[in-house]
Amino acid sequence: MAGTELFGYEERKEVLDVLETGILFRYNHDSQRNGVWKAKTFEQEFSDYLGAKHSHFCASGTAADSLSLACCGIGYGDEVIVPPYTFIAPIEAVLMAGAIPVFAEIDETLCLSPEGIEKAITSRTKAVLLIQVFGSMGRMDEILSVCKKHNLILIEDAAPALGGSYKGKMLGNFGQMSAFSFDFYKIITAGEGGAVATNDDELYEKAHKYSDHGHDHIGNARGAEQHPILGYNFRGSELGAAVVLAQLRKLPYMIEKQRLHQKALKKVLLEFPEIRFRFVPDEDGDSATFLSFFLPDSEKAVKVFDQFQKEGVSASYWYRNNFHFHRQWGHLKEMKSIYNLPVMKMNNIPDYRNMEVPHSDAIMQKLMMTQIMVTWSEEELNILTEKIRSALKNALK
Ligand SMILES: Cc1ncc(COP(=O)(O)O)c(C=O)c1O
């Protein structure tokens, strides 16, 4: 991923700034920190990048999901509509909130479909947790209008699509609150870390307080602060903020390079008329961190995947491998929790064991994904495109 590829002097410098002050905590200790406030600086620059009014740096993307749910008032017994294609973190966050994940169908954007959302709505539905999956977006206009029509809160988890946009507006700027991750496998990384963003002053006030045990962060004497609400610890450290700040400043370059490289791969795939690209509602807004495409059927997809393996082309066939599709979530289906989750004590919860999302299954059976690197040289890109061409020729003959 771009962040790990481009890790260098700039990250080290930001971290050293913090280490020199010795203040690794993001709040207080004003006189000792020599004006070094990495979390605050990151939040200012991240909000500017997104075009959002506020953002708040926190411990992880999972923390950002939990924080978004909490700030939006989602708790015991509320239903939250979620997709079956995502890393499972947002679904775990819904469970931890005491809420009920309700699975809905995706479409060829690979994100929740507006039709799927509408079908999954019940009288208990409170929110839609839209994951902007692997670089690009859902059908935003229609999703927003379904949420509006049914008075649902929209939370956007844009962790896998940071840097993407829809009609000129950055992803992570559409719902009431959005979540991002800076773990090791994200476009920008601090090893661990996350953030929420919002345009709502009240939600922001809740976010910084809730993620720090309800501290109001007024004044500069931590012990004297008030605690208007109960909270939790989702704080990120100054060290993580320092790293992700340096990474954020490289993000426009990463996106530019990724788009160029994605274009080169797309050009090869276009030589094969049986291949179709994932539907991207605004192609100019694809962050191009990945390239997702469809083979005509599952048999051909498996063949292509096997040929890619043979040629050494890195690719994911999520339907069968890896961990991002519901078929691999045995622990969720069997509710293997080490303690009693609220959902385990509720009536009328969805039958997770026999989860039925046939439309999503059909889409995923045909889906292949490759990752785009930023540091590919022209020569490496040429070798890769040649390998892809050869693998596809073999698999599709
Ligand atoms: C969509 C999504 N949300 C949340 C997370 C969780 O992020 P973290 O690992 O920082 O907790 C991930 C991680 O892969 C993710 O893909």
Residues 38-81: tens digit of each pLDDT: 999 999 999 999 999 999 999 999 999 999 999 999 999 999 99
Report the CATH number at residue 70. Answer: 3.40.640.10
Same domain, 219 and 278: no
Tell whether pTM > 0.95.
yes
**Structural domain ending residue among the three candidates 215, 250, 285:** 250
Closest ligand 1 atom, residue 186 Cα: 14
What pLDDT, on a 0 to 100 scale, did the predictor assign at position 340? 97
What pLDDT, on a 0 to 100 scale, did the predictor assign at position 321? 83
Assess whether pLDDT exceeds 90 at residue 337.
Answer: yes
Do 181 and 223 contact (CB within 8 A), yes or no? Answer: no
**Structural domain ending residue among the three candidates 230, 250, 270:** 250
Mean pLDDT, all residues of the chain:
97
What pLDDT, on a 0 to 100 scale, did the predictor assign at position 77? 97
Do 241 and 190 contact (CB within 8 A), yes or no? Answer: yes
Catalytic annotation on 310? no
Task: Give the closest residue (by CA) to ligand 1 atom 13.
Answer: 87
pLDDT tens-digit readout, 267-288? 999 999 999 999 999 999 999 9
Same domain, 243 and 303: no
- Token readout for 257 is 């390079």
Same domain, 200 and 300: no
Same domain, 282 and 234: no
Assess whether pLDDT exceeds 90 at residue 322.
Answer: no
Same domain, 235 and 256: no
**Structural domain ending residue among the three candidates 250, 272, 291:** 250
What pLDDT, on a 0 to 100 scale, did the predictor assign at position 180? 98
CA of 340 to the centre of ligand 1 (A): 23
**CB-defined site of ligand 1, < 6 Å:** 60-62, 65, 86-87, 89-90, 131, 157, 159-160, 181, 183, 194
Q: How many CA atoms lie within 13 A of 203 on its CB side?
A: 26
How many CB atoms are located within 10 Å of the residue 140 CB? 24
What pLDDT, on a 0 to 100 scale, did the predictor assign at position 156? 98
Report the CATH number at residue 291. Answer: 3.90.1150.10
Q: Which of 38, 148, 169, 186 is catalytic?
A: 186
What pLDDT, on a 0 to 100 scale, did the predictor assign at position 120? 98
Same domain, 204 and 292: no
- CA dihedral of residues 145, 148, 153, 157 (deg, nearest 10): 10
Same domain, 223 and 360: no
Assess whether pLDDT exceeds 90 at residue 125.
Answer: yes
Query: Average pLDDT of 297-325?
Result: 95
CA of 181 to the centre of ligand 1 (A): 5
Please give the tally of structural domains in the chain.
2
Of 181, 196, 290, the residue with max ligand 1 atoms within 8 A of its CB, to mutate for a pocket test, comes to 181
Q: Which comes out higher in pLDDT, residue 397 or 108?
A: 108
For residue 331, the enclosing domain spans: 252-396
Give me the residue label for tokens 């490759």. Answer: 370
Same domain, 274 and 229: no
Query: Average pLDDT of 120-148?
Result: 98
The DSSP letter of residue 342 is G
**Rounded Cα gap, residues 120 and 107, in angstroms:** 14
